[in-house]
Amino acid sequence: MPDMIRPAAIIATVALLAIPAVASSQATNTILPGYWEYRSKVSYGVSSTSVEKKCVEPKDIDKFFSGPSNRHYKCTYPTRNVANGKAEFQGTCVDKRGRKAFVTASGAYSPKHFTLVAKIKTSIIGLPVTPTGSIDATWIGPTCPPKKPKKPK
């Protein structure tokens, strides 16, 4: 699929980074910083499910507030509504080759739980495709495990 932006990677990016984005204001009733377990599912013809644990530190929360992006995709979210236990994101992700994908995601959150469903609109050789993804995240606790030392090169 060389003519297509990778939808599974975009969904994973949105899903894994959306939780810290919601937590940007600790003064409101949002999620808690700490150790989280994410259960992700991506459906694009075939479904793929994964489980990952991630540490969300208070110092890291604000950098995610501008919107989920990673080194492969630059994403912008002109529509971003996060309030009263609900989250909604709509925007565009562009890869390094200029290929675009339109992203919509919505979900619900509480201090110790978050769900998000995302839909991508992109194309393969000019044909429209709309893969989907979801995440269900649960707060494990306030303390993250120690970081593993980096292996020497």
Average pLDDT on 62-82 reads 70
> Rounded to whole angstroms, how far apart are CA atoms 54 and 34?
8
Alpha helix ranges (H) inside the chain: 7-22, 58-64
Structure token pair of residue 147: 């970081």
The rounded mean pLDDT for the chain is: 78
Quote the pLDDT of residue 31. Answer: 78
Give tens-digit pLDDT for 41-57: 988 888 899 999 989 88
Structure token pair of residue 139: 């707060």
